[in-house]
Chains A and B, each alone.
Chain A
Amino acid sequence: MRDAYDAVIIGAGHNGLTLGAYLARSGLEVVVLERRHEEGGGLATEELTLPGFLHNVHANYHTFVDMAPPVKDLEVRTHGVTYIRPEVQMASVFDDETALVVYNDLDKTCESISRFSAEDADTFRRLYLEAHGYVDLLLGTLMYQPPMSVKELTKALASFGIEDRSEFLGVKLRRETINWFLDKHFTNPKVKAHLAFHAAICGYVNDLPGLAIGFPLLIGKIDNWHLCVGGSHRLAHGLWRDLARHGGVMISDAEVSSIAIDSGRAVGVTLSDGTQISARKLVASTVDVEQTFLEMLGETDIDADLRGKVKNDIRHQKWSLFSVHLALAELPAYKAASFEPDVDRAWVVNLGYGSPEELNVDFEAIRRGRLPGLAKPNAAVNSLYDPTDAPPGKYTGLLRQFAPYSLNGRGPAAWDEIGRWYASQCIQAWSNFAPNINEKSILDWVPYSPADIPSKIRNMVDGDWMMGEVSLDNMLDRRPLPELGQYRTPIKGLYLAGSTQHPHGFITFAPAYNALQVIAEDLNLDKWWNVI
């Protein structure tokens, strides 16, 4: 390790690595510092159950890999990173042993929806086609650019007369819930449940006002879920390879304890072992805002007002995820396969939410720190499409249940007491729909509770895997605070480039890509990646 670099990046998650790789390609000397023993952050793949079973501990679904500029710019696919877009993307199985299936083929999806409602199938087709028309345009506008304000966006949408041109987009969506959108356009509760469920696993809760604005875009990429072959960590490794090939360095077990400030400018960092590293041009933090401002910076480095806001006003998701990782000897055989055989080939399956109201009730309970009445997890079997993630003839499984971080007023520690019991409830819920998932077919299983999330990935404060609430008040240039919404900070040379920033968590690459635009402006870098 040298004692000085041009750019010092804190955190080697996909955003830190992405920013590092771009800057290294721009000719800067870059170091990416990672607290954990390996790069990747949420791109963690581990043998949590038995040897040979590769479990994605956090990020499992990659929905932007064919849209995100860094994948092309950084030649990610040449670095041993391969993606599969499963043919049967997602399904919902219902208590009456019916199933709705989303394929990577619109006609097939509509055919499945039409078994519940022909009218909804037609609506879905129109919505999907409309959204598909502008998904590329809007992602380019809203996601892979530093953010505009809601006001600016609303004004532009009005100027272009979007409401008159679109059946589904409209300025008023910024006040409405996804439930409102579903009730306005769809009729069948199961169809609505599936669409609401899909939004929820994208981080968009169906009963929060304002989130309807993002719903058409979610539908535009509803069949664009990709699986990283060999585990999500392969992507982290690919990004690291690009960084390394261009002279950048990633150092693991390198916990940053403080950011050095000189005359109002970030000039380096100190590691927890006392090592000092100078930053000639910039320091970029991709970890949570609280760590950056309350731990790594001294009290006098920023004004008390901003410090107070970081302490009190950062908004985190009020729900988290409880996971169970399983090693399986059999693929799930759903009862609903007699209604819809393809459900057995679905990558991700919603187990039992049959109406948006059921989701409402559960999210209401979760926000009060309570478990949902009945476990209704979703089940993913990556081995269906990526047999390399388990030994031959065996399969990995992942159950995820919406859950509170702090339980029953007793804090996250309560998960230590009930984690295994609750995992068994989730497994039983799966078994209810796929009876062959039982003691015989389950070789091993491991719970991974909301309390485990920040234990492993500190950035995910309070089990917040989105690193900031997905809500209208915490979107665009207001995320994570209006003062910090454009990737710059009040301290010169200190940038924020992690999922705390616009747009949000998930494997989007966007916070890093957008921070890069700002850094390039400030450092007058040649934007080689911006060939239009």
Chain B
Amino acid sequence: MPDIYTDEWYEAVKDAINESAGKLADLPEGSFIVAIEISADGLSPYVDTLTGLRRFVVKIERGTCSWYKEVFSKDEEYDMAPGGVNYRFIGPARAFDEIAGGLLDPVDAALKGVIRVRGDMRFLMRHAENVKVLLEAYTRLVQTNWPLGKPPYLDKTPNEVANA
């Protein structure tokens, strides 16, 4: 079982998404790039409170994940996506951890404003069924190891998490 947010874990996520591609219908042409910004919140031990942010860039092409990469600056993101990204998901680390752990539904997170979504929402709405399949792959199909503790971190204070 890969540790959360490691290359192995993202590889597993990529495989899960790609294995789900067969369930997708009416696939749109072209590709899109998604940026994920996970900000430190003092609860998740997986985002350093000093650096404050982890950024990932993922390319989805006709329902399959072509590549993913953790980047460490906006410049690096630009290098990966010189034409700009199509979507950006922004939120606190605990929310992303809980989504990855299958504890928080990503649609609920977006509806509650916990995770903010930027980009052409019409596309996501028009391909709602496909979006659901991709989210299912991300949230349910990957066995994850949590070496620094597992969300929802209810038994720890923010300081304890930060010092873990």
Contacts and interface: CB of A to CB of B under 8 A. Distances in A.
A148 B110 contact: no
A181 to B, nearest CB: 18
A145 B120 contact: yes
Most buried by A among B35, B85, B120: B120
Contact of A137 (B88, B111, B132): B111
A532 B88 contact: yes
Bin the interface of chain A by size: 20 to 34
Interface in A127-149: 130, 132-137, 140-141, 145-146, 148
Contact of B125 (A133, A135, A156, A166): A156
B122 A165 contact: no
Contacts of A530: 84
Interface string B97-137: 00000000101101111101111111001101100100000
Mostly, the B contact residues are mixed
A67 interface: no
A312 interface: no
Given A156-B126, A160-B128, A532-B86, A134 B108 contact: no
Contact of B107 (A140, A152, A165, A532): A165
A155 interface: yes
A166 B114 CA distance: 15
A159 interface: yes
Interface of A is mostly: helix
Contacts of A161: 107
A531 interface: yes
Contacts of A145: 120-122
A51 B48 CA distance: 60
Nearest to A148: B122
Which residue among B85, B113, B120, B129 has the maximum number of chain A CB atoms within 10 Å of its CB?
Answer: B113
A532 B120 CA distance: 9
A150 interface: no
Nearest to B119: A532
- Tell which of B35, B85, B125 has the most Cβ of chain A within 10 Å: B125
Given A140-B118, A532-B84, A532-B119, A152 B108 contact: no
Specify which of B84, B117, B121 lies most central, judged by the most chain A CB atoms within 10 Å of its CB. B121
Say which size band chain B's interface belongs to. 20 to 34
A159 B126 CA distance: 10
B119 A159 contact: no
A166 B111 contact: yes
Contacts of B132: 159-160
Contacts of A153: 125
A133 to B, nearest CB: 4
Contacts of B125: 141, 148, 152-153, 156
A531 B122 contact: no
Contacts of B153: none
Interface in A392-451: none
Contact of A532 (B87, B114, B122, B126): B87
Contact of B118 (A135, A146, A532): A532
Contacts of B113: 132-137
Contacts of B126: 148, 152, 156
B128 A136 contact: no
B26 to A, nearest CB: 12
Which of A133, A152, A153, A532 has the largest count of B CB atoms less than 10 A from its CB? Answer: A532
A108 B129 CA distance: 41
Nearest to A155: B128
Contacts of A532: 35, 84-88, 118-119
B45 to A, nearest CB: 26
A217 to B, nearest CB: 13
A165 B108 contact: yes
18 contacts: A130-B112, A133-B113, A134-B110, A137-B110, A137-B113, A140-B117, A141-B122, A148-B122, A153-B125, A159-B128, A159-B132, A160-B132, A165-B105, A165-B107, A165-B108, A166-B111, A532-B87, A532-B119
Given A137-B110, A165-B108, A532-B88, 11 more contacts: A130-B112, A132-B113, A136-B113, A141-B122, A141-B125, A156-B126, A159-B128, A159-B129, A159-B132, A162-B111, A532-B118
Interface of B: 35, 84-88, 105, 107-108, 110-114, 116-122, 125-126, 128-129, 132
The list of the 3 closest CB pairs from A to B, nearest first, reads A159-B128, A141-B121, A156-B125
